Structure formats: structure tokens, C-alpha cells
A and B are shown apart, each in its own frame.
Chain A
Amino acid sequence: MRFSSRMLSFCLLLGMMTMAPLAKAEAPTYTLEIKDHTFSPATLTVPADTPWTLIIKNHDKTPEEFESETLSREKIIPGGGQVRVKMGALKPGTYPFMGEFNPDKAKGQVVVK
């Protein structure tokens, strides 16, 4: 246990370094809404090569997890909650996403043009 104080400060330092918000660029915002375990709009069209911000509002009482392998994002939205996800500049194409907690119903796609 001799190392524990050194280790603790190392971990704290790491934590502080990563917690400090660096910069916040203003990016266009698009909103997805969840109702009855379905996304609306089911197809979200965004411009290519531009970073953007996704807001997800969950009108259901139960939590949902937004997940997309192609967008490499996963995010839990509590029942009645709202979250924000920063998206990178994307190449034109179709990027499917789904609600992992209701994969049969909650499906959609981001179309980048």
C-alpha cells in the first residue's frame, strides 16, 4: 500500500485533466424525439462535412439507449429526459441507428447529404 497516495493523486490528476471542458464550438442542432419506443423523424437529414449536435428527447416513461455502430455513438436517454450528443463531420451516406432497449421498434437513420 506504499504507492497508494501516489497512485491516488495520479488518478485524480488524470480525472481533472479530462474533466476540464476545453472548447465548445457552435454547431447546427438537430432533434430526435422518442415516443412509444419509436424515433421521429425516423430519417434525419444532415449536411455533409459539418460537425453537428444531436438532441434526443425521450417522451416515454422508460429509458432508451440510442446506439449506432456507424456513427460510433451510444447514449442513454432517461424516461422523460433530454440529452445532447456531439457528432463529427460525416461523409455523405446513410447511417442507421436504433434504440437498443427496444430494437424491434426503435429504428431510424441519419442521411448525410
Chain B
Amino acid sequence: MLSIATIVFREFLEIALIISLVMAATQGLQGRINIILLGLGIGFLGAGIIAFFTDTLAASVEGTGQDIFNAGVLFVAVGFLSWTVIWMKHHAKHLSQRIHKVGSDIVAGETSVWVLITIVALASLREGAEIVLFTYGMMASGQVTWPAVFTGASLGALGGTVVGVMLYLGLLRAARKHLFAITSWLLVFLTAGMAAHGASYLIAADVLPDLVPQMWNTSHLISGDSLAGEILGVLIGYTPHPSGMEVLFYMAVVGVIPLLMYRPWEGKGGLSKSSPS
């Protein structure tokens, strides 16, 4: 039961952290909870379908199908997240004025609600599929009973949610004034980490070269297996010994998104951070 709790916690942690950042970034957006629940629902439904087709998926492309699929999911998420962060920055002034004046319903209409749903769904898709496969394996091998699976999974999900809620509340408290800017930057690093993770899948699938097998190694400082390592892994894409290609993907996102957020070529208005009025 404990092993179920541990594995569900690890997978759920990623979903919870992504959701808490999205929640923090969309302060004032009405119906956020419903959006996130819908995203989770779609994601887990998809996870079940993927888990069902794992055999076919894993065997495809000479046994690298799963990696290529995971990379695809990650890169689509990178696309949606990049778009969201850039869009948020571009409409920041607009948004905050409207939120104060009219209330938040307009924002909901204009922000692509579907973008947020997709981000949450994609996050829960990959991780959810692993949870389903793992619990299926436990059940099929007769190692555990239904109640144990249920209790373990609930404990794990609860643990992941607690960490996510802590991050959300912590962000709201610590970053009250600059919540918008800070969550935007956190999302940039999260997105960069996803891009690097996607690259690592493609390296394992032999689609991309690793360029340099290992750029550095910080395992002795923060192990990738530790709780801190895993949380940092989701939030800023921390990995103890990245390859050259992963670093390249990371830097590309960290370089390009802020450029599109601030648009220095658009003159003086571009660089000013949304001045508090």
C-alpha cells in the first residue's frame, strides 16, 4: 500500500504543482475550479485510454513509441504554456483594469479557457497513465487488494495535493504585490523544464543526439530522487546531470518566451513592467 501511495504521490505531485501555478497565474478568473476539474477529468480519461493501448504504443517505432508520444505531449504543452504566458503579459494591463472594474467574467470569456483546460489535461494525461499502469500491474499480479490500492492511491493523491496547495498559498502570500510577474516567470521556467524533459525523451528514442552526454553533475547536492529534487524538477526543470541537448532546449525557451513577452523591438512600451496604477 505504501508503494502505491509513494508512486501516486510522485506522479500526482507534478500535476498538482502545475495546477497550483496555473491557479496563481489566473487570479480573478471566474470558474477556475471548474476549468481545472474539467481538465483533470479529460486528462485522466485520456490516461485510461493510453494505458489501455500501452502495448501497441510501446511496441511502435521499434520500441520507442512511448518516448516519442511523451515528447509530443510535452511539446504541445510547451506550446500552450508559452502562448499563455505571452498572452498574459500582453494583456496584463488590460486584465488588471478590467478585473477591478467589471469583475472577472470578461476575463474568462477572453482568455482561452480551452488553453487552460488543455494544459491541465496534458499534465494529468502523462502522469495519470503511469498511475493507471502501475495500479493495474499491482492488481494483476495479485500483490494487493482493491482497498489497499484505493487507500494507497488516495493517500498519494492527497499528499501531492497538499504540496500543491502549499505552493499556491505560499505564492499568494509571498508574492502578493508582484504575483503576476512572479508566476509568469515561474511558468517560463516550468515550460523550459518541460521542453528539456521532452528533449530527453527524444534522446532516449534516438531521434535527437545528446550533443554532450553530461554537462555537469549535481547529484551530490540535490539528488533527482529526493523530494526536493522532484519538486525542483517540476518547477524549474531541475535535473542533476543534463545532456547538452536538454540544456539547449531549456535555454531556447528561457530565451525566446521573455523576448516575446517583453518585445523590446516594439519601443518603449514594450519593456516597462505593467506599472501599478
Task: Give the B-binding residues of A (Cβ under 8 A).
Answer: 1, 3-4, 7, 10-11, 14-15, 18-25, 37, 53, 55, 60-65, 69-70, 72-73, 75-86, 88-91, 100-101, 103
Which residues of B have CB within 8 Å of A70? 219, 241
Shortest distance from the beta carbon of B196 to any chain A beta carbon, whole Å: 11
Please tell me if the beta carbons of A18 and B133 are within 8 angstroms of each other in the complex: no
Shortest distance from the beta carbon of B186 to any chain A beta carbon, whole Å: 21
Please tell me if the beta carbons of A21 and B207 are within 8 angstroms of each other in the complex: yes
Q: Give B155-180 interface residues, CB cut-off 8 Å to A.
A: none
Provide the B208-246 mask, 1 if CB < 8 A to any CB of A, else 0. Answer: 111001100001000111000000000000011111000
Provide the B123-146 mask, 1 if CB < 8 A to any CB of A, else 0. Answer: 000000010011011101100000
Assembly CA distance A34 to B112 (angstroms): 46
Provide the B68-81 mask, 1 if CB < 8 A to any CB of A, else 0. Answer: 10011001101110
Summed over the interface, the residue pairs from A and B with CB atoms below 8 Å come to a total of 136
Number of interface residues, chain B, beta carbon within 8 A: 54
Which residues of A have CB within 8 Å of B242? 72
B62 on interface, CB distance cutoff 8 Å: yes
Which residues of A have CB within 8 Å of B76? 11, 14-15
The answer to whether residues A10 and B83 also contact, given A19-B72, A75-B204, A88-B243 and a CB cut-off of 8 A, is yes
The answer to whether residues A24 and B206 also contact, given A4-B112, A65-B134, A90-B213 and a CB cut-off of 8 A, is yes
The answer to whether residues A86 and B80 also contact, given A14-B75, A81-B58 and a CB cut-off of 8 A, is no
Please tell me if the beta carbons of B55 and A80 are within 8 angstroms of each other in the complex: yes
The answer to whether residues A89 and B213 also contact, given A65-B130, A76-B130 and a CB cut-off of 8 A, is yes
